[in-house]
Homo-oligomer: A and B are copies of this chain.
Amino acid sequence: MSRRNVYLDLIPPRQAVQRACDALNRKELVQTETIPTHEAAGRTLATSVTARCSSPTFHSAAMDGVAVRAADTFAAREDAPLELQKGRDYDPVNTGNPLPEGRDAVIMIENVLQVDDSTIRIEAPAFPWNHVRRIGEDIVATELLLPQGRVLSAYDVGALLAAGIWEIQVLERLRMTFIPTGDEVLDFSQRPTPQPGQVIESNSQVFASLARSWNAIPSRTATIPDDAAALTQAVRDALASDAHIVVVGAGSSAGSRDYTKAVFEQVGTLLCHGINVMPGKPTLLAEAQGKLLVGAPGYPVSAVICFEDVLAPIAAYLSRRDAPQRRSLPVQLIRRTPSRLGQEEVVRLAVGEVRGRFLAAPLSRGAGMITTLTEAQAVTRIPTSVDGVEAGKTVTAELLVPEAELSRVLIHVGSHDNTLDLLADALMGLEVPLRLTSSHVGSMGGLTAVKNGTALFAGAHLFDPETRDFNFPFLRRYLPNLAVQVVNLAIRHQGLIVPRGNPKGIQGVSDLTRKDIRFINRQRGAGTRILLDHHLEVEGVDFEQVRGYEHEEFTHMAVAVNVLTGAADCGLGIRAAAEALDLDFVPLARERYDLIFPAEHAEDFRLQALLALIGTEAFKQRINNLGGYETTLTGQTMHPGQGLE
């Protein structure tokens, strides 16, 4: 901690981009080259291009038919047809044929009556230049065809070739080299098996893939250890190469092994140290020898945002093209999304279409979680001026995927259960893979979401002690006017999750008041919490006596992890969670975990696919393999009063 960097000043990405564009001379940095026209799509024209040939180079027939001299046909009338002789009065022509000498019009084949092999009859006159493509109709030689700076389309390639332009001068493709750094970093190309403390370097390949998508040429150096001298040498070597952009992976933060800033200051001029966006904050920019130096954060999501918000717009400027723009869409947030005031936050979203509207569930915010990007359909930006966005608000989502994909996402809100992960997996294995996005806000939260139309369906396991029925009493009470279908997913075993061997000998909820037992609870509204409260009441236990009652987790697995890691001595949860982590389990109750579908979604192809799936024996078998479940009701439509039968 002796040598620590301090962030200079956090600036908005736009300003970082501007500083880099101002500091770089793109005309000096990016040279031009001459390439064959037919390989030029996607390249940027370095100079404007004038046509060498006209197109067409001759008057030609624009239709299949006969070529005539218009003046010869002026007398033709419906009531006074005119007969024309082949060779003398007309010549057959196909589309594209040059107009024979002396002809100045074409009569469409549909308007010609063939009398014999060499005679036709027409009933209307032709006008001069009727159905004739005149010289230069498309392209006129010597005229400007395409301006400098144009990013060539496939159409442009056609126009250039038609104009007789075989080679063109374009900007060279940008070359970007990536220097991976870090003692702990493993080279993916060695196919390593990471040991504790080691990570597989993959950001270089994410950058390379992104770079290729905008037509740049990526490369990568050997991995550099955490050593200032070695990094300085590597950056100098990269600057001496033909790369326009040198990226140093990781080491751009403010940790004691973060040398990138010092190295950049040594070899060039620092332009920016830190952007006020999370993730992505530790982004460094510098200029050296007219080239761009980028210090990219080590966390994968931060690195991606560094690339997309900062590097990509600079690269667009250098290659004289418009910065890539994502399609954007208004979406309704189904959960509150907190953020820090004064800092923009890029939040990954699972977005699913529900009856023409788009619902968005914010995904985990961890900058280290690349899967939040692979699972997201979009991102939204929470501006610096607010400290979060409330559930139900509409925000602008920038799509990461084609819009069509949003109709293949199922938004589930409700209670957590391990069978949902199994369901998600099975849905992705369908011929048309469906993506299940689950927001775990408890059973009551699921009912509320269904009521508000902020979920396609809900999962709930609400036990009503009075009727000994599941879910229906709550639906009657809270959603009296909503027609729903209730289908069982599984019967599951709830109980106390305890460490392997149950070292504290916990036997039931009455043990929870013991001073040596730290409990971990579920959040308010969770069916499991309601179940706990019911059992505490049955046993006459005061919840205020339970140590840790106020510590809440949102999933069974999170409860189990607390027990596994010793953060708590026990928690209430499903047997499957205990078994997944090889913990012990003290059974307390069996309960029904049901899926609740609003009747208005009955025709939804995604729900139909889901229902078909959970009815299969194969799926039931997978549930049974988890342990702690019964599948006697799985896939069946439930009825009020049915209970566990």
Of B137, B197, B374, B424, which contacts A155 at CB under 8 A? Answer: B374
Nearest residue (CB) in B for A182 is B96
A161-B205, A213-B42, A373-B155 given as contacts; is B193 within 8 A of A53 (CB)? yes
A150 to chain B, nearest CB (A): 7
A511 to chain B, nearest CB (A): 22
Separation of A112 and B256 alpha carbons in the complex (Å) = 15
A55 at the interface (CB under 8 A from B): yes
The answer on a CB contact under 8 Å between A146 and B366 is: no
Of B109, B149, B191, B323, which contacts A4 at CB under 8 A? Answer: B109
Which 9 residue pairs are nearest across A and B when measured between Cβ atoms? A147-B428, A154-B209, A41-B209, A161-B202, A58-B196, A94-B255, A155-B373, A158-B206, A98-B197
Task: List A residues 81-126 near B (Cβ within 8 Å).
Answer: 92, 94-98, 104, 109, 112, 114
Task: List A residues 429-446 near B (Cβ within 8 Å).
Answer: 429, 432-433, 435
A139 at the interface (CB under 8 A from B): yes
The answer on a CB contact under 8 Å between B565 and A206 is: no
Nearest residue (CB) in B for A64 is B255
Of B95, B191, B206, B299, which contacts A154 at CB under 8 A? Answer: B206
One digit per residue, 1 when the CB lies within 8 angstroms of any chain B CB and 0 when it does not, for chain A 144-176 equals 111111100111111101101010000000000
A289 at the interface (CB under 8 A from B): no
6 contacts between A and B (CB under 8 A): A37-B188, A38-B188, A41-B212, A156-B374, A162-B200, A162-B370
Nearest residue (CB) in B for A300 is B158
Separation of A159 and B253 alpha carbons in the complex (Å) = 22
A210 at the interface (CB under 8 A from B): yes
Of B53, B144, B567, which contacts A129 at CB under 8 A? Answer: B567
Nearest residue (CB) in B for A197 is B98
- Supplied contacts A95-B253, A95-B299, A153-B374, 12 more A-B pairs, CB within 8 Å: A38-B188, A42-B213, A62-B366, A95-B298, A96-B182, A128-B566, A133-B368, A138-B368, A147-B428, A162-B200, A164-B200, A325-B402
The answer on a CB contact under 8 Å between B96 and A158 is: no
A582 at the interface (CB under 8 A from B): no
Contacts of A381 in B (CB 8 A): none
Q: Which residues of A contact B (CB under 8 A)?
A: 1, 4, 37-38, 41-42, 48, 53, 55-58, 60, 62, 64, 92, 94-98, 104, 109, 112, 114, 128-129, 133-134, 137-139, 143-150, 153-159, 161-162, 164, 166, 182, 184, 188-189, 191, 193-203, 205-210, 212-213, 253-258, 298-300, 304, 322-323, 325, 327, 366, 368-371, 373-374, 400, 402-405, 421, 424-425, 428-429, 432-433, 435, 561, 565-567
The answer on a CB contact under 8 Å between B429 and A148 is: yes
Nearest residue (CB) in B for A210 is B154
Separation of A226 and B254 alpha carbons in the complex (Å) = 71
Contacts of A164 in B (CB 8 A): 193-194, 200
Contacts of A150 in B (CB 8 A): 433
Separation of A92 and B433 alpha carbons in the complex (Å) = 46
Contacts of A566 in B (CB 8 A): 104, 128
